Structure 1
Amino acid sequence: MKRLLTLLFWVGILYVGYIGYSIWTFEGDRPLESTDAAVVLGAAAYYDKPSPVLKERVNHAVKLYKDGKVDHVILTGGKGEGAPFAESEVARDYAVEKGVPKEDTFVDLTSKITEGNIINAKLIGEEQGFKDYTLVSDPLHMKRSMAIANQINLDAVASPTETSAYQSLETRVPFFLREWAFYFLYKGSLIVPDSLKPDDWVPVNR
């Protein structure tokens, strides 16, 4: 019994280490073919300005749009506590400022977490008849995001921003540890759309 417990312990340690390594090294697909929409996962906004993290995510989606890799851009993220604007509204205004036509953008005003970002993006896409998507976020955020997309049967490819605001070890390590923990919390809870009340994730169009 002691040997078995020791073996299970080391298997668990190796598995946890493997997940951490896969999060740190995840690069995504960077698709050559176009998809119907880029989905920009939410990040903080400062009043009516995107945070550095959100700005780089939107910059990447704008580049995908201008390069003909995506036909539309879905911006996600609701209002933070006391915020006058939703993250998605701020992100959309910035994308339009950078040259994406407003009619090719959609916003989700209600989601608070990554699961909600992706579920709402799928609901918006279904309303518009979209079939496939490109998920846009920071590299360290992509493994969990793609796991969520796969779980809800979202036909998506990952395209992490190459200009992430998390560049130095000082910024990357805390974000990595957060994602490492969140990945296991997500896998432990296995949140799926059917387990949520319909009003929890209400997409908002243009």
Structure 2
Amino acid sequence: MNRVFGAVVLAVLLLVASTAAAIWWTARQDARPSSDAIVVLGSAQYNGVPSSIFAARLEHALSLWEDGVAPVVVTVGGKAAGDQFTEADAGRAYLEEAGIPGDSLLAVPEGVDTLESMRAVGAAYAERGWSTAVLVTDPWHAMRAERMAEDAGMEVTSSPTRQGPAVQTRTTQFRYILRETAAYLLYRATGESVAGAPGVG
């Protein structure tokens, strides 16, 4: 009995360790092939102004668009109770003010977490006959976002932002990796997302 218990514990520890290592590895990648669109995962906004985490993602998406990675930038994310603006609309306004023309922007104002947002983007892709995307989010969130996007029918790579609060210190990075490890394993086991804002949950 003790051997069986020990084997189970060891298997769980190996699964957690290998998942954390995969998240760390994915976070270090930067794939930017020519694609149908650049998809920016939403994060908090305050009265239409993107938070520092969201702004870092948007600035990276702007750079990718300027480099010709894709002709369209998709912003995604709904709004919390009491908010006047969705994250998608706040992101679109930010990028339009930064110089991207309106016909190169698509706001998908749906989703209270990453899973809902990716499903909404997948539906928008299907309507337009698109298939390929470069995802922009924080490094530690990239692997889970990729998996959810693929499950929503998209062909994706990720180009994580290297700026913003999520990557400032090693302590912050370690905390994000632990959280993402738990969130990724939960999704693979149940098909559900953790509660949180788009780009977090």
Q: Report the TM range for the smaller structure's normalisation.
A: 0.7 to 0.9
How many residues in Structure 1 have an aligned counterpart in Structure 2?
Answer: 192
Structure 2 gap segments, 5+ residues each: 194-201
Report SS of the residue matched to 1:148: helix
Give the fraction of aligned pairs with identical amino acids, expressed as a percent: 30
1:7 lines up with 2:30 in the alignment? no
1:56 lines up with 2:50 in the alignment? no
Residue 96 of structure 1 corresponds to which residue in structure 2?
96
Task: In structure 2, give the amino acid aligned to 1:61.
Answer: A
CA RMSD, Structure 1 to Structure 2 (Å): 1.8
Residue 80 of structure 2 corresponds to which residue in structure 1?
80
> Post-superposition shift, 1:12?
1.3
Task: In structure 1, give the amino acid aligned to 2:135.
Answer: L
Residue 203 of structure 1 corresponds to which residue in structure 2?
none
Q: For 1:47-67, what per-residue CA distance to the aligned partner results, in whole angstroms no more than 9, with x for missing partners?
A: 121001100111111111100
Q: d(CA) in 1 for partners of 2:27 and 2:172? A: 18
> Post-superposition shift, 1:170?
4.2
Q: For 1:143-190, what per-residue CA distance to the aligned partner results, in whole angstroms no more than 9, with x for missing partners?
A: 111111222331111111122431113433333332222112211212
Asked if 1 retains the 8 angstrom alpha-carbon contact of 2:77 and 2:111, the reply is yes
Asked if 2 retains the 8 angstrom alpha-carbon contact of 1:77 and 1:111, the reply is yes
Q: Which runs of 4+ in 1 moved over 6 A?
A: none
Asked if 2 retains the 8 angstrom alpha-carbon contact of 1:29 and 1:157, the reply is no
Report SS of the residue matched to 1:39: strand
Q: d(CA) in 2 for partners of 1:176 and 1:32? A: 23
Q: d(CA) in 2 for partners of 1:150 and 1:133? A: 10
Report SS of the residue matched to 2:23: helix
Compared CA separation, residues 52 and 120, structure 1 to 2 (3 A): same
Report SS of the residue matched to 2:78: coil
Q: d(CA) in 2 for partners of 1:68 and 1:177? A: 34
Q: d(CA) in 2 for partners of 1:186 and 1:164? A: 26
Asked if 1 retains the 8 angstrom alpha-carbon contact of 2:92 and 2:105, the reply is yes
Residue 176 of structure 2 corresponds to which residue in structure 1?
175
Asked if 2 retains the 8 angstrom alpha-carbon contact of 1:28 and 1:157, the reply is no
Asked if 2 retains the 8 angstrom alpha-carbon contact of 1:44 and 1:50, the reply is yes
Residue 105 of structure 1 corresponds to which residue in structure 2?
105
Q: d(CA) in 2 for partners of 1:117 and 1:28? A: 23
In the superposition, the TM-score normalised over structure 2's length comes to 0.88
